[in-house]
Amino acid sequence: MSDKQNAFYAQSGGVTAVINASAAGVIETARANGDKIGTVYAGRNGIIGALTEDLVDTSAISDADVSALRHTPSGAFGSCRFKLKSLEDNKREYDRLIEVFKAHNIGYFFYNGGGDSADTCLKVSQLSETMGYPIKAIHVPKTVDNDLPITDNCPGFGSVAKYIAVSTLEASFDVASMAKTSTKVFVLEVMGRHAGWIAAAGGMASTDLDLPILILFPEITFDRKVFMGKVAEKVEKYGYVSVVVSEGVQGDDGKFLADQGLKDAFGHAQLGGVAPVVANMIREDLGLKYHWGVADYLQRAARHIASKSDVEQAYALGEAAVNYALAGDNSVMPTVDRVSDNPYKWEIGKASLDQVANVEKMMPRDYITEDGFGITDACRTYLGPLMEGEDYPPYKNGLPQYVMLDHKMVDKKLEPFEI
């Protein structure tokens, strides 16, 4: 066993357009510090890969392919939705982690994820104290939900924001063209079950143009009558309107609007989106012709229209994670600290994981206009920089050249483990 310890890196939760840029930041920075740190082993499918000893040997990945991760969306090593239980509830999993770390001489743990993953990373960071296994555990932030505290924003969000703003802009031009004899309302459903950050981005489409856009935030209880009044008012004034609706919008019964008890011809419940529900209400109440779209995965995988500042931050945070670990930090998360809005300047900071895990950053109420259907200037000042700049992937034959890695797996040394 060398005195240089190896690193474990994994991706967790919903993937984004730039999480692989963080992976590139981790791997390239580790390679540049080859005198101090050994091989980066990537967990196949997040923490599950650590438990089942499914480790990808990233030393087998060419420099060119690592570099290509920077412009490749989604999780190159596979992600997972899996939260470690507490030590009391499942000591077996912690014992196993230590067994795997020991077997592969792993002294660094980089976990790339959102709120739940920060909790997992916090638990791993406490292995020194709780189980006597020394480890440097660093959380690399990532989530399109933008709901991690302390950091200015979360990698992945800026690119979704850009995608939704651009799409809302483009769809608004479309419905404006059609409104005279056909569609007058376009409804776009976006992600964000708890916080309206992504929905807010739809409002950025009107940064330079006077476009009629109504936003339905999860933070604002849906009032059908008030909303219909707004729709009618916009259509009266502009001839058309775009509605950006968060999947998490709730009625005053506290239920998601999306759960409207839709049933198919056989009486089976239909798990639907909220866009068709809202569009249908508009038809019923106002008789207006509509179209609706549901962006779903397209929004968070849209590396082709990623925000440059988002890509740069995702990479820088991966890089910082390795540097912090090498400097001896444990149980921290590198953060983006905003220095100025315009021009957008930022630097890398550091937060203690116990202040990050299980804390959700919600939209400030003063980012939403008083009527509840738009964004304020304060919100624009915050969001604008996150969407700044383009960072196009290379293309061949009309398609982005995303890399799909061959996973060279590390030889297993342990008995299988059942999750």
Q: Report 226-285 residues binding a copy of itself (CB under 8 A).
A: 260-265, 268, 270-273, 275-277, 279-280, 283-284
> In angstroms, what is the minimal distance from the CB of 50 to a copy of itself?
13
Judged by CB under 8 A, the residue of 6, 7, 10, 11 near a copy of itself is 11
2 contacts a copy of itself (rule: CB under 8 A): no
Cβ 304 to a copy of itself shortest distance, Å: 5
Nearest approach, Cβ of 271 to a copy of itself (angstroms)? 6
Fill in the per-residue mask, 123 to 162: x = in contact with a copy of itself (CB under 8 A), - = not in contact. Answer: ---------------------------------------x
- Cα separation values, 396 from 263, 290, 357, 393, 400, Å: 44, 37, 41, 10, 6
- From 65, 145, 147, 329, active-site residue: 145
Q: Is 215 in the site for a copy of itself (CB under 8 A)?
A: no
The Cα–Cα gap between 416 and 419 comes to: 10
The DSSP code sequence of 179-222 is TTTS--EEEEEE--SS--HHHHHHGGGGSSS---EEEE-TTS--
Among 132, 236, 327, 396, binds a copy of itself (CB under 8 A): 396
Find the shortest distance in angstroms from Cβ 295 to a copy of itself. Answer: 6
Q: Would you say 48 or 332 has its CB closer to a copy of itself? A: 48
Catalytic residue status for 337: no
The Cβ of residue 195 has, within 10 Å, a number of other Cβ atoms equal to 20
Residue 129 or 223: the one with the smaller Cβ distance to a copy of itself is 223
User: Cβ closer to a copy of itself: 132 or 394?
Assistant: 394
* Residue 326 main-chain phi, psi, to 5 deg: -65, -25
Footprint (CB under 8 A) of a copy of itself, residues 151-210? 162, 165-167, 169-171, 173-182, 186, 188, 204-205, 207-209
The contact pattern for a copy of itself, residues 321-360, with x = CB under 8 A and - = no contact, is ----------------------------------------
Query: Binding a copy of itself by CB under 8 A: which of 36, 81, 345, 365?
Result: 81
CA 362 to chain centre: 15
Task: Give the dihedral of Cα atoms 144, 97, 356, 135; nearest 10 deg.
Answer: -120
Contacts of 32 by beta carbon, 8 Å cutoff, 6+ apart = none
Member of 359, 362, 388, 409 binding a copy of itself (CB under 8 A): 388
Instruction: Looking at residues 301 to 320 of the shown chain, list those that interact with a copy of itself (rule: CB under 8 A).
Output: 301-305, 307
Q: Which two tokens stand for residue 283?
A: 């038809």
Q: Which of 181, 237, 182 is nearest to 214 (CA)?
A: 237
Number of residues that bind a copy of itself (CB under 8 A): 89
H/E stretch holding 70 reads none
CB–CB of 21/315 below 8 Å?
A: yes
How would you write 117-175 as a 3-class SS string? HHHHHHHHHCHHHHHCCCCEEEEEECCCCCCCCCCCCCCCHHHHHHHHHHHHHHHHHHH
Report the residue from 69, 218, 402, 410 that binds a copy of itself according to the rule CB under 8 A.
402
SS3 364: coil
Q: Any alpha helices (H) in 77-114, and if so which ranges?
A: 91-103
User: Counting contacts by CB under 8 A, is residue 70 touching a copy of itself?
Assistant: no
Q: Minimal distance in Å, beta carbon 385 to a copy of itself?
A: 8
Q: Which of residues 24-53 bind a copy of itself (CB under 8 A)?
A: 44-45, 48
Smallest distance, a copy of itself to C-beta of residue 207, A: 6
Residue 46 half-sphere exposure, CB side, CA atoms within 13 Å?
A: 23
Smallest Cα–Cα separation from 297: which of 63, 3, 7, 17?
17
Q: Which is nearer to a copy of itself, 299 or 331 (CB)?
A: 299
Q: Please pick, from the candidates 237, 345, 392, 408, the single residue that binds a copy of itself as defined by CB under 8 A.
A: 392
Q: Among residues 129 and 296, whose Cβ is nearest to a copy of itself?
A: 296
Contacts of residue 92, Cβ cutoff 8 Å, sequence gap at least 6: none
3-state SS track over 267-296: CCECCCCHHHHHHHHHHHHHCCCEEEEECC
Catalytic residue annotation: 145
